[in-house]
Amino acid sequence: MGSSFIQMEYQSLIFEIRGYKVMIDTDLAALYETETKVLKQQVKRNNDRFPKDFMFQLTKEEKTQLVTNCDRLSGLKHSSVLPMAFTEQGVAMLSSVLRSKKAIKINIEIMRAFAVYRAMLMEDKSLRKEIKALDEKINKVFRYVLDKIDALHQDKAKPRKKIGYKDYQNE
């Protein structure tokens, strides 16, 4: 299985929460082949490396929504501990905290997945922009045609001057 297959797997682990593209601590712990508890301990020991735009803890509502929308995270449903969400920069910072060769290898693949994910979003935006421009052009053409049709109907609605023989006796 190639690198692109692995990247596709990692892309399915990326969520959008609070406007950030993030990965959840349980998924990252599984990828790094460590326990979630150990991952969280390392993060807490190096808390100054993880500002709020690198990592944040989910609220109860966010956790509930995540568990509801993602079956593989159903194990979090009854956990009293709120999961941590790591942005792309937070995931990169994890490689300096988790120093195993496995962590470094996995981290590289995750960074590639984030890059592919970002490229897909940009492609989607540019495609949406092209469709909107095309839609505007089509609307202009339809307006032009409808205006011409309306003008023809208005010309037909005007009373025409009669030509030919006039019967003055019946007027």
58-81 confidence digits (pLDDT tens): 999 999 888 888 878 877 877 888
| Helices and strands (H, E) in the chain, number of each type | 6, 4
Dist CA 126 CA 118 (whole Å): 12
Structure tokens at 142: 């339809």
Q: How far is CA 60 from CA 65, 77, 83, 161, in A?
A: 9, 10, 9, 80
Percent of the chain predicted with pLDDT > 90: 13
Q: Per mean pLDDT, which range of 82-91, 143-152, 153-162 is the poorest? A: 153-162
| Mean pLDDT of all residues in 20-25 | 90
> At a CB cut-off of 8 Å and minimum separation 6, what does 24 contact?
13, 15, 58, 66, 73, 83, 84, 85, 86
Would the pTM count as exceeding 0.85? Answer: no
Task: Give 50-64 pLDDT, tens digit per residue.
Answer: 999 999 999 999 998
What ranges do the domains of the chain cover? 3-121
Q: How far is CA 89 from CA 131, 137, 166, in A?
A: 33, 41, 91
Structure tokens at 31: 């990828």
Which of 45-54, 75-84, 132-141, 143-152 holds the top average pLDDT? Answer: 45-54
Q: Give the amino acid at 52.
A: K
Dist CA 144 CA 131 (whole Å): 20
